A and B are shown apart, each in its own frame.
Chain A
Amino acid sequence: MIPPLVTGISPKEGPAGTKITIRGENLGLRANDLISVQICGGECSFEWQSKNKIIARTGINGVKGKGDVIVTTSSGGVGNCTVQFRTYVESIGPLKESAVWVEETPIQSLTWGQRRMVTSSYHSQEDPLSLSIEGNDKKFTEDLREIFPENSGDLSRENFSPYWFLLENHHATSFDDLKAGYSYLKRKVEGQKEGQLSFLKTHVGAVIDQLDTMMKLKDKIDNNGEVEIAERIHNLQGTISQSIDSSHALFDDVLMRREKADKSRAALSVLNRYKFLFCLPMSIQKNADNNEFDIIVNDYARVKNLYSGKVDIPLIKRVLSEIDEIILEVRKNLHNKLKEMPQAVEQQKKFVKCLINLEIQQFGTKQYERLKINDPAWDSLFCRARYIEETFKRTYEEFQEREVQAKENNSVKRDQNSLPIRVLFCEEINEIAAGQFPDLWRLGQSYFTGELRGINEPKPGNFKQIILNVIEKFCCYIRSSILPNYYQKFSSVPPWTSNSSQQALISTWLPTCLRYLRITYSSLIRLDLPNEVLDVVLKLIDELRLFCLLTILKKSIDKVKRLDEKEGWDMKVEEFPGATALPEKFEEILAESLDEGQQMCLQLEVRENPLFDGIHNLEGYHEVSKIIETALGCFSTVIEELATQRSDDEIHPLPRHNITGFPVNTSLNDSKSTAISTITITWEHRLLYCLANAAYCNKMFINNLGNLFTKYGYPIPKLALENGRSNMNMVFANLLEIYVELKNDTIVSHIEPSMFSSDNFSWNTIEKCDKLSFWANQCLDNIVGVYLEIFAVSPFLLRPILEQIIQTIAEELSRLMNSVEQFNNCGRVQAILDIKMIRDSLKLYNNERAKLSFNEAMDAIPKLSNDENRYVDELLKSIKIQRRIQLMCLNVVNPS
């Protein structure tokens, strides 16, 4: 039982009595099935035409304004409508244009006749106030209808309202004119009141004429007799009935023609419908082939509408069921199509919607029962997710394969500028993710807003988990391809068929990969994904940032290792004479990588956290610290090696002055490593420079490096700097030892030979002592020579070096004195003089051990008498005066 539905009315508005064509569905199976038609709440007269069409005429009792058109049938009950009719009041005269044809129906014919006379007389007459109505356009008629719903401006109406009339016709007339009109009207009414007598008076001539005529007529009738009249009447009657007959005949003819026209039209439309029905299976097939599923949906709806319900004709039934079979196929087809990938989301949604629509329409047929699809929208969602994962996997395998092939084909010759395969993979997978993931998410949104809801309750799976899985996979693939193994502890994907040389090759491309990933990340952020999902990507970004930073910093280690090539031996450091430009170069390298790292990895983009933020990522900073420590260690090694390694041409020992032990500056020494400046730099000088560098680094430079870290936004790696310093300290100690050893060779080991240079020298055979011994003189000369050598490089180095040397001298003297078997008197005085002279000259650099050894040396000599002592002191004084220029430098307390 399907209720009637009105979907069209023609016209949609009009006054009471309008003839209306009503169209729609199920408007009655036959004429007597139609019970009533109500328009705007009023009953209508009606004529049933077909189950889709009724002709009705609105009654006078309907409500004015907009109202429903309700058709009631006994087969379908009270119906519905999608359109509304508007009734309004309109007086219609012969001079008024009308959109509807005013028919001469019995309801109106009475008033019609009256009205015509009145209104025509009104219209032909002047204005009742005898005023011109020019400039008084009737523009308020609609409004007046609302203000005076009960009244009318029509003079002939019972409900005439003077207000209406005046407002309508004289809203622009001046007050004086109105007054004049009023008096005119009054005069006219007065005139009419004078009564019939005055009327007769004015028309007396005509009245007498009429009376005469009537008298004549009476005479004629009296003369002619009654028979003739009767005959005439009879004739008249015959003519009248004849004309009635012929008019009937005429009318019947028209009616018949109309009926015929109706019939052939009905036949045509039936034919059309059958054509549509019988062609439908074919056209569905055709449209399905062309993917025009919309048309199928609409055609199917049309056929369902035209032939739904009781169709008893077996042929039609067969066609209908055939159509349902085809629709079933179409549904299957659609279900497959919506799972097909790749395709655009909109396309997929369209398939889902068409499928859902067909299901709704086919619901209830036996074909519907044969294919039940639970939740097609979910299927489409699931397939899309699976497709993305598959694409990831396929791409992953494909690029691995490519890498292997590339290696086989031209492992030798590789274009340095072309991106490594893994980086290409990284770019590709990011493109896939950024391109396809938003589609998945949007489809999901459509799903959960109910846009794709079908006939059954939706049965969503765990969409969030699916999303998480996709993103997780994406991250794992990137990890496998570009990050080292230890980042892949919990990876859900197979590792990249590893090849560590390739791994090393991509390190310079890591920032590029990071860029790709960040672009994807920001596009994911724009989708407004749940935080949990975004955090998965964020974690990978953090890992990549850290790894990238470590790689950048590690690169600096290699550069540090090659710093030795950069040493130019030019002293540049103001606050520490002797230190070269090398530490500055080290700082440059470090600054460069810190800067690069800061730009690539520390700078934050949307929704990222600082890489080293308090306790966050302590482990990561530990790694950084370790690299810095290594770099500093390498730097120490560079300094040490620069000091100890002699280049090839220096392996031959330089000719030395056999007394001072000084290397002779030869112009022959033109080797590349030493001829950087015009001054030739000897090995000892380099040793001293390196010592100065080590001391400078240890005392100032490394500590100042902390500022560099602060400047680029890194936490200061205190431990690394501290360890670097202690390393440097060790280098200093080593180099010091080498240098002291070297000098001891020339100074200390010369004491004994020079002491016993004359063949039979003995402390027991000295005859005269009025000056320093030869050996003491030579020793002092040598010390001053070393002093000058050091001083030329760095006064800071004087104390540590000289203290060591003096100590060794003192020890040597103590050893020598203790091994003397016997002193004669002169020998005793000479020995004390020599030792005291050496001791006093160097007293600024005597440490405790040196003092002790000097004392031991003097204790080994038998005691001098007071006279002898005085003699020694005086002699000492005069020698010091003699040599004061030479000794002066040794006594400068703070040489610089």
Chain B
Amino acid sequence: MSKKPSTGPISLHKVIMVGSGGVGKSALTLQFMYDEFVEDYEPTKADSYRKKVVLDGEEVQIDILDTAGQEDYAAIRDNYFRSGEGFLCVFSITDDESFQATQEFREQILRVKNDENIPFLLVGNKCDLNDKRKVPLSECQARAQQWGGVPYVETSAKTRENVDKVFFDLMREIRSRKTEDSTKASGRAKDKSKRRKLKCTLL
């Protein structure tokens, strides 16, 4: 592709994948990033991905940190979580234990970010395996509701169902959160500079 429009630095949204081991965090990430599905299971420590996507007509960068789900790494997770702007909390609908574990992840995130409204999606993965479902849909939705109405989405890294959706929805939340913050922080001052600029072009 040729020349890009020059519209200043493109914004970067930092997403973190959390959830127990084996629920499909890496699979979701790789499916979203590279359209591929990985059958075999290789435990992750911490993987980093970043690419440009178009979000509502605007070019943005998404940065994905795919973390380890294993207990052993609980301590280093604190560090990782600190840099996250939004979280996909993944469990497998075929594994009740992984669903129970989301509670702990949620608490850890709230503790580290110290923010009730951090952009957050609860993701039930492996929905292609519905016949082996162990966690009833109603229970998942109830938990999402109980967490202050975070969105709940079911995905399949295998069939690519809802994969784009969860990442894009999360980015939208992050983005609206940022514009909210920046308007809160700088208030009118920012608007004014914008306007002045406009007037110059105008008059």
Q: Which residues on A are within 8 Å of B, measured CB to CB? A: 7-14, 23, 52, 82-84, 97, 99-100, 261, 265, 268-269, 272-273, 276, 293-295, 297-298, 301-302, 304, 306, 349-350, 352-354, 356-357, 360-361, 363-364, 444-445, 448-451, 453-455, 460, 463-464, 528, 530
Contacts and interface: CB of A to CB of B under 8 A. Distances in A.
Interface string B113-157: 000000000000000000000000000000000000000000000
Interface stretch (B16-24, B33-41, B104-112): B33-41
Given A52-B34, A99-B68, A360-B5, A448 B46 contact: no
Given A451-B7, A453-B7, 5 more contacts: A10-B66, A99-B46, A363-B3, A448-B202, A464-B203
25 contacts: A8-B29, A13-B45, A13-B46, A52-B34, A82-B51, A83-B49, A99-B46, A272-B36, A294-B54, A294-B56, A295-B164, A354-B57, A360-B3, A361-B1, A363-B3, A364-B2, A444-B198, A449-B197, A449-B198, A450-B6, A453-B6, A460-B201, A464-B202, A528-B195, A530-B199
Contact of B37 (A272, A444, A455): A272
Contact of A276 (B5, B7, B35, B201): B35
A761 to B, nearest CB: 103
Contact of B198 (A356, A364, A445): A445
Interface in B35-91: 35-40, 44-51, 53-59, 61, 63, 65-66, 68, 72-73
B194 interface: yes
Contact of A297 (B45, B54, B197, B198): B54
B4 interface: yes
A9 B164 contact: no
B39 A8 contact: no
B126 to A, nearest CB: 17
B46 A11 contact: yes
Given A83-B50, A269-B35, A364-B2, A357 B45 contact: no
Contacts, number: 135
Interface string B185-202: 000000000110111011
Interface of B: 1-8, 26, 29-30, 33-40, 44-51, 53-59, 61, 63, 65-66, 68, 72-73, 160, 164, 168, 194-195, 197-199, 201-203
A341 to B, nearest CB: 19
B53 A298 contact: yes
A444 B197 CA distance: 12
Nearest to A268: B37
A82 B57 contact: no
A364 B3 CA distance: 10
Contacts of A349: 57
Nearest to B31: A272
A8 B56 contact: no
A82 B33 contact: no
A269 B6 CA distance: 35
Contact of B54 (A99, A357, A448, A451): A357
Nearest to B68: A99
A82 B66 CA distance: 15
Contact of A261 (B2, B3, B40, B66): B40
A7 B51 contact: yes
Contacts of B50: 7-8, 82-83
The interface centre, meaning the residue of A7, A306, A356 with most chain B CB atoms within 10 A of its CB, is: A7
A265 B27 CA distance: 13
Contacts of B4: 360
B16 to A, nearest CB: 12
Nearest to A441: B198
- 9 smallest CB-CB distances across A and B, nearest first, come from A353-B57, A99-B45, A12-B48, A10-B47, A82-B50, A8-B49, A11-B45, A448-B201, A83-B48
B176 to A, nearest CB: 12
B5 A530 contact: no
Contact of B194 (A297, A449, A455): A449
Contacts of A268: 37
B161 to A, nearest CB: 13
Contacts of B201: 448, 460
B47 A8 contact: yes
Contact of B45 (A14, A304, A449): A14
A276 B26 CA distance: 21
A350 B57 CA distance: 6
Given A8-B47, A450-B7, A530 B68 contact: no
Contacts of B194: 445, 449
Nearest to B165: A295
Nearest to A346: B56
A11 B67 CA distance: 9
Contacts of A353: 56-58
Nearest to B49: A8
A454 B201 CA distance: 17
B138 to A, nearest CB: 29
A748 B184 CA distance: 96
Nearest to A69: B48
B47 A530 contact: no
Nearest to B39: A265
Contacts of B6: 450, 453
A12 B68 CA distance: 12
Contact of A304 (B1, B38, B49, B68): B1
The interface centre, meaning the residue of B35, B48, B195, B201 with most chain A CB atoms within 10 A of its CB, is: B48
A294 B203 contact: no
A11 B72 contact: no
Contacts of A13: 45-46
B57 A8 contact: no
Contacts of B38: 265
Nearest to B38: A265
A453 B33 CA distance: 28
Nearest to B200: A448
Contacts of A306: 35
Contacts of B34: 8, 23, 52
B203 A530 contact: yes
A261 B37 contact: no
Contacts of A352: 57
A654 B61 CA distance: 107
A12 B26 CA distance: 13
Contacts of B48: 8-10, 12, 83-84
A330 B38 CA distance: 34
B45 A455 contact: no
A678 B53 CA distance: 98
A11 B47 contact: yes
The interface centre, meaning the residue of B26, B51, B58 with most chain A CB atoms within 10 A of its CB, is: B51
Contacts of B72: 97
Contacts of B56: 294, 350, 353
Nearest to B59: A357
Contacts of A301: 53-54
Nearest to A297: B54
Nearest to A364: B2
